[in-house]
Amino acid sequence: MRDSPVHSFIQVMTGQIHDQLALGTYDPLVVIEAWVLFFGGLAIAAYVWRTMPAQRTATHLATFGLRFTFAGLWYLGTLWKLPWPVSHGFRAWLTNTVTYSSFGWHAAIMQLFLDHIGVVQPLVYLAETFFAVAMAFGLFVRLAGVLAALFVLNLLVGLYNDPTEWVWTYVGIIGAHGMFAAWHAGQSLGLDAVLRDRKIFAPGSRAAALVHLAS
């Protein structure tokens, strides 16, 4: 039976894909997470569209669509990295970054991560969850874009010699997130636009400066 993007989307939203079913008791929670990311992101976009007329352009709409799509990539990535117990899939991929790394020094770092996988896996899970939330809600997208690009650069270096990988996949993901950061993609139908427009933090304050950098 042929699959389709529509069918796959329905499966994700109803908890029917393999990575969700394999989680057992976690399954309902990750389905709720999918609904919060998807409908929360749409609700935020609708609110910004309604309250900020300047946002009603094809450029803002397209930027939102691209950013929102990558939230799905990061959400799916978190499904096999939920901490405790250690994921066999995550262990296998981390092992590959040791085996196929471009540089000896990088392989040594990846081996250190592998030796402490019980600590590393929760941190990776939290990082990818942050990327998913940032892209879905348009929150602190400059910060998330830079960190995500560096995150995937590590994969590019670590899997560069893997014969089953096409490294340009990682180049594309890095490029997309670099553009999200450079283009301030969270200010297109996202919470970053709300933070900038509403001036929630006093102008000139440290908090306002940090928000400006992150968004």
d(CA 152, CA 170): 6
pLDDT at res. 137: 98
pLDDT at res. 199: 72
Question: Based on the structure, what is the number of domains in the chain?
Answer: 1
| CB burial string 195-208: b at 16+ within 10 A, e below | bbeeeeeeeeeeeb
Contact 181, 141 (CB under 8 A): yes
pLDDT at res. 1: 67
Crossing angle of the two packed helices 168-182 and 58-78, in degrees rounded to 10:
130
H/E segment holding residue 90: helix 88-99
pLDDT at res. 70: 98
Contact 99, 34 (CB under 8 A): no
pLDDT at res. 197: 77
pLDDT at res. 121: 96
Contact 131, 74 (CB under 8 A): yes
| CA-based nearest residue to 194, from 46, 34, 38, 58 | 46
Give residue 129's identity as a one-letter amino acid code: T
Rg of the chain over all Cα atoms, to the nearest angstrom: 19
Q: Which residue has the tokens 């352009």?
A: 57
Percent helix, percent strand, percent coil in the chain, to nearest 5:
75, 0, 25
**Cβ neighbours of residue 99 closer than 8 Å, sequence gap 6 or more:** 107, 162
d(CA 143, CA 170): 19
The residue segments making up the domain with residue 48 are 5-214
166: left (phi over 0), alpha (psi -120 to 50) or beta: beta
**Cβ neighbours of residue 116 closer than 8 Å, sequence gap 6 or more:** none
pLDDT of the chain, 215 residues: tens digit per residue: 678 999 999 999 999 998 888 888 778 899 999 999 999 999 999 999 999 999 999 999 999 999 999 999 999 999 999 887 889 999 999 999 999 999 999 999 999 999 999 999 999 999 999 999 999 999 999 999 999 999 999 999 999 999 999 999 999 999 999 999 999 999 999 999 999 877 777 777 887 788 888 88
